[in-house]
Structure 1
């Protein structure tokens, strides 16, 4: 193979992207079938379920979603009455987002399904492979965070 040709199938960033996309598509079936949620809506629900009250900006940073995707997801969850917006007392441009009882109930229903999905995925690997992946991902995340943070 020529030195100036990039073989995508063995290029780590491409492989990680394709794997993440495949796993995300598989998991999407769970929340789409259960509640008709899109990926951004699920990520918004999950972020608020985990952290409680957040701003749209914080949700975008936590989930690596563009602000327009966060905005659409927030609008849809609000339409479903799964979240409420509260204006910040000090800065009216900022809104704090919180799940309602119905939103929290949907989140709590999804948690065991998400954990079961993760366990099924991990069960396809040996204990050594699980450890290697966890360690490798943690190392890459730490190194990338130190260069971008």
Structure 2
């Protein structure tokens, strides 16, 4: 008796691959706004976007919020501080921790880039109607939640 053949991997149908490719292309489109005009890396813009939206945060909070590793967050924070776009101040609750916030110059760049990033997002989503956009966001949130839960369960 023959064994059942294991399912074959087809990249174009493999969710992690499709998500990665879509994320890369969308990120490349949006990156034109902050990279070409302001010389920011994706990691630097991501930190600025979080600080612009959420306000002052520790590096650990930025790691959690962005789902980026500690080293890229640290490098991006140092680069932004060196350019005068982010300020690092001691944390009142933890002497080892630093709280990051946008400087006035960082806020000005955020205020210019955020609307342009939203415009780029609208271009990417132009082929979807409002219902499809809402469904896409909902499905992505559910996939992210399921993957996060699986990470906490599996060693």
Task: Give the Å deviation of 1:33.
Answer: 1.0
Q: What residue is the counterpart of 1:103 in the other structure?
A: 106
Please say which structure displays the higher CA radius of gyration.
2
1:5, 1:49 → 2: CA distance?
A: 44
Task: Give the Å deviation of 1:137.
Answer: 1.5
1:148, 1:75 → 2: CA distance?
A: 29
1:127, 1:87 → 2: CA distance?
A: 44
Kindly provide the CA deviation profile for residues 76-134 of structure 1, in whole angstroms up to 9, marking residues without a partner as x.
11111111111113321100001111111111111110111111111122344323312
- Structure 1 segments (4+ residues) deviating >6 Å: none
Q: Number of residues paired by the alignment?
A: 148
Task: Give the Å deviation of 1:135.
Answer: 2.7
Map residues 1-149 of structure 1 onto 2, 5 A cutoff: 3-148=6-151
TM-score (norm 2): 0.86
Aligned residue for 2:96, secondary structure, equals coil
Task: Give the Å deviation of 1:143.
Answer: 3.1
Kindly provide the CA deviation profile for residues 36-66 of structure 1, in whole angstroms up to 9, marking residues without a partner as x.
0001110111111111100111111111111
2:135, 2:142 → 1: CA distance?
A: 10
TM-score (norm 1): 0.90
Pick closer, same or farther for the CA change 1:78–1:124 going to 2, 3 Å: same
1:145, 1:92 → 2: CA distance?
A: 30
C-alpha RMSD over aligned residues: 1.7
